[in-house]
């Protein structure tokens, strides 16, 4: 549970943490906020009436083996498990993907620049640039259509033929997005690999990279992703056999990436998690072999 402290008089962050029984590590882990501002040092002043918020440490999540999928050419690619954010959030930096990746290579978090992000409850391949040259090369590859990503997903609905081209803009909740005529252009290539009743196994290839693009597009197409509560996907399923299934994540996985720069071709892949394989089997959708091999 988070701890809150309203300063009765001017003081310092360090003094408040001492009163709360919190170690200074809470600051380095990015878990301490003064109002909406993340605290960076114990000597920072907290004025009378201001609130200090200290979030609890993030629960540890087991990393896939191997975790590092590629390291070279100024590029780091890792295999993200569902349940952790890519970059620091309000709970802090420690235990986020960028933190775990930096520690795996004994680097500073500031040295890693994500060129693609996966939402907290999505798994799979994430790419980081480790220097400015690589950052520019990856940006150029994306702009020129040479940064390809392949996702697999399980949807509660069977969409029509793609591609999906709804523009995407902000929703009323600033953390969410929606299909909107005045939004930014967005495009997703889609293929239905298997269907059983109202469920479908999809292959998705984003052409653009808008926030929540695949989730918003799937929902707008009448096929929200299983487990995606924010965009209408069912968190619980009851099979004809009476078996009840609860998915603690979004049924979306970035299975591979292929990046072509002027100097090299970089490829990496992440195996589909046993949780999603089991879900597809329970729903009668078969395996992911065709989804990983087909064109989209």
Write out the two tokens for 155.
């949807």
Dihedral (Cα; 11, 51, 38, 230), 10-degree rounding? 170
Using alpha carbons, select from 50, 53, 49 the residue that is nearest to residue 39. Answer: 53
Using alpha carbons, select from 293, 250, 291, 230 the residue that is nearest to residue 82. Answer: 250
Indicate the SS3 state at residue 189. Answer: strand
Q: CB–CB of 232/157 below 8 Å? A: no
Phi-psi region of 183 (alpha: psi -120 to 50; beta: other; left: phi over 0): beta
User: Measured between alpha carbons, how far is 234 from 230 in angstroms, rounded to an integer?
Assistant: 10
Q: Give CA separation, 155 vs 46, 191, 221, 235, 273, in Å.
A: 48, 12, 10, 12, 16
Any idea what DSSP says for residue 201?
A: E
Using alpha carbons, select from 69, 70, 32, 78 the residue that is nearest to residue 52. Answer: 32
Write out the two tokens for 259.
């990046």
Q: Is 282 a catalytic residue?
A: no
Q: How many residues does the chain have?
A: 296
Catalytic residue among 119, 143, 228, 282: 119
User: Measured between alpha carbons, how far is 228 from 273 in angstroms, rounded to an integer?
Assistant: 17
Q: CB–CB of 245/120 below 8 Å? A: no
- φ, ψ at 220 (rounded to 5°): -65, -30
Active site residues: 119
């Amino acid at each position: 549970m988070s701890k809150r402290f309203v300063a009765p008089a001017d003081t310092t962050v360090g003094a408040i943490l001492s009163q709360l029984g919190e170690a200074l590590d809470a600051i380095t882990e990015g878990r301490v906020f003064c109002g909406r501002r993340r605290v960076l040092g114990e000597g920072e002043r907290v004025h009378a009436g201001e609130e200090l918020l200290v979030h609890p440490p993030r629960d540890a999540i087991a990393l896939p083996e191997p975790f590092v999928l590629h390291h070279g050419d100024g590029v780091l690619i890792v295999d993200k498990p569902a349940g952790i954010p890519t970059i620091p959030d309000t709970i802090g930096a420690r235990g986020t993907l960028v933190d775990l990746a930096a520690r795996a290579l004994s680097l500073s978090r500031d040295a890693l620049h994500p060129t693609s992000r996966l939402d907290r409850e999505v798994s799979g391949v994430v790419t980081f640039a480790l220097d400015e040259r690589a950052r520019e090369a990856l940006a150029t590859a994306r702009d020129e259509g040479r940064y390809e990503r392949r996702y697999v997903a399980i949807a509660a609905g069977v969409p029509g033929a793609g591609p999906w081209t709804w523009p995407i803009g902000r929703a009323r909740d600033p953390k969410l997005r929606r299909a909107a005529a005045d939004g930014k252009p967005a495009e997703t290539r889609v293929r239905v690999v298997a269907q059983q009743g109202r469920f479908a196994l999809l292959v998705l290839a984003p052409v653009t990279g808008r926030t929540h693009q695949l989730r918003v597009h799937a929902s707008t197409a009448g096929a929200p992703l299983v487990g995606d509560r924010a965009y209408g996907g069912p968190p619980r399923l009851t099979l004809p056999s009476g078996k009840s299934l609860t998915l603690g994540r979004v049924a979306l996985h970035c299975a591979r990436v292929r990046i072509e720069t002027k100097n090299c071709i970089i490829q990496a892949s992440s195996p589909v998690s046993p949780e999603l394989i089991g879900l597809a089997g329970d729903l009668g959708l078969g395996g992911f072999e065709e989804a990983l091999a087909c064109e989209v």
